[in-house]
Chains A and B, each alone.
Chain A
Amino acid sequence: MTTQSPLAIEATGLVKAFGDTCAVDGVDLAVRRGSVYGVLGPNGAGKTTTIRILATLIRPDAGTARVLGHDIVTDAEAVRRSVSLTGQLASVDEDLTGRENLILLGRLLGLKRPAAKDRATELLEAFGIAEAGGRLVKTYSGGMRRRLDVAASIVVTPELMFLDEPTTGLDPRSRNQVWEIIRALVAEGTTILLCTQYLEEADQLADGIAVIDHGKVIAEGTPGQLKASVGSGSLRVRLLDPEQRPAAEQILDRELGLVTLEPDPAALSAPCSDADRGAYAVAELARGGVHIADFSLGQPSLDEVFLALTGHPAEEAPDQAHPIAEEQEA
């Protein structure tokens, strides 16, 4: 490689079919070095297959891709030398201890035994699993297992990291920990391709997002651009007492119009692109005797973006606490 492309991943027209189903149907991607690129889509959209193609685990039926300048088919060995993969299932060996898993990976990446041991110690401490390092991984909690999994992916720091749904199934606290680790990786210059079905995750971490559905990229841009393409922001209010929702609905309908009642029986929202008007509407609620637990004024969520782009909603996060956590952070 003589010329250093500014792109870490350039893929054109990737196609992969399994039997009759076309899992990936002409995907193009361009990922800048040093960025976090989110591939967002529901289950079965083709995210994992795309990652597996780019990580050289499977060959595409059609299309080409270069990862860090190396062709994924003709120069797969060079790709494997500079990337790491964190699969959808926390791919660590359950019958080994956390420490042994890291030493194993270190040895397989070419570290000498003492260096592999030192590295394992360092990573266990940095990731807060030092005390559990001697325990078999099958005894770990989901969050610990995921942290070990990410640690295993950076035993030798990769130039590019594939992360396939790194927080699926984690509780909000563990999810935030994994996000912090991802941010640290980015700060140190690692490029990350992040597949996720959580819109909030892409919003939090990614510089650029490709929305993928049925094996095709259906939209691409920064989180802000994607939101802007769907339209105005909204005011969201959560009440202390769900009984007061009809009263609140009446007031908001008068002030802003087009009120949406949310699945949460105490929450409702209305389109609002002007912060002053939003503030006034909240004041009107208070004047009307409606007690508010919290409110937020913001751009449309990526959930709304997804709905607008695909005509069907993204999958619900299994964790119902999810949207609440989001609000508290905002």
Chain B
Amino acid sequence: MSTKPSAEAELMTTADQAAVRRAISSTSRPPPPSALSAALTFGWRGMLKVKHVPEQLLDVTVTPIMFVVMFTYVFGGEVSGSTAEYLDYLLPGILVMSVLFTTVYSGVALNTDLTKGVVDRFRSLPIWRPAPLLGSMLGDSVRYLLAGTVIILVGVALGYRPDAGVGGAAAALILVVIFAFGLSWVFTTIGLKLRSPSAVMNAGFMGIFPLTFLSNVFVDPTTLPGPLEAFVNVNPISILVDASRGLMGGEADFGDIAIVLAVAVALTAVFAPLTTRLYRNS
């Protein structure tokens, strides 16, 4: 017979019948929460996870920080003539990259909930059906903001000064977060389709990694071979990077911004209902 350590025995004696019965009988059922309150509660849960599992945020910010530092000092002089000039070019791109990497975790977290059985409990509650998803996405958006802020601050520490000032940087950050919100529905869909959190992680990065590199994050696409240049130019991530550079550099291109917003809306329109349906039938 397995014997648990005495701490467990200690705990047991405190779980006495009378206290349990009092706890059972001492509530009346309140009316169910409003849709907003339920969604915000799930957002709060997302925040708690940032607090308790900061590794997740570190994972996706450390790599971009390494890229900023290494690329700036190793290639900066060669690519742009000076490290300072390359940092100007690179930082908005790295901002996009780090925030988009973070979106993969929305899918991973949802899959974790599914495999651990937490989803079943949430689905048995008297709450507005999309609240768990929407709330998690709200929480994740705060996480994107944090990741983006960290990258911008690292850039500033290395000498980056956005021409459009704090306002321009903030505008770019918000645009990136809006796009990330749209993109993360893709990963939540994948998160509900695949079997394990690590499968979601692999599939997610297999998609987002090449898409991010085959863009104008690191180099000017005019230096690339023709077909690749053509792809890079229509890659929505390139357009997002262009829009962010514009906003941070004080030459905002409203055409680019409009395309970015349209893509975010389109991704949400397609994948949010898909996620919701998969969640309901999980």
Contact = CB atoms under 8 A, between A and B. Distances in A.
Interface residue SS majority, chain B: helix
Contacts of A77: 126
Contact of A143 (B8, B25, B32, B113): B8
A144 B33 CA distance: 28
Interface residues of B, number: 47
A110 B1 contact: no
A103 to B, nearest CB: 9
A104 B132 CA distance: 12
A129 interface: yes
B48 A100 contact: yes
B45 A104 contact: yes
Contact of A147 (B15, B37, B48, B52): B15
Nearest to B26: A122
Interface residues of A, number: 73
Given A52-B120, A119-B27, A125-B14, A108 B21 contact: no
Contacts, number: 158
Contacts of A127: 15, 20, 23
Contact of A110 (B12, B21, B32): B32
Q: Which of A82, A109, A112, A130 is most buried by chain B, counting CB atoms within 10 A of its CB?
A: A109
Given A87-B121, A156-B27, A184 B20 contact: yes
Interface in A123-159: 123, 125-132, 136, 141, 143-144, 147, 151-152, 154-157
Contacts of B125: 80, 105, 108-109
A187 B21 contact: yes
Given A77-B126, A152-B121, A156-B30, A131 B41 contact: no
B19 to A, nearest CB: 4
A241 interface: no
Contacts of B15: 126-129, 147, 177, 180-181
A173 B19 contact: no
Contact of A80 (B21, B45, B124): B124
8 contacts: A81-B126, A93-B113, A95-B48, A95-B53, A108-B127, A122-B23, A147-B15, A184-B17
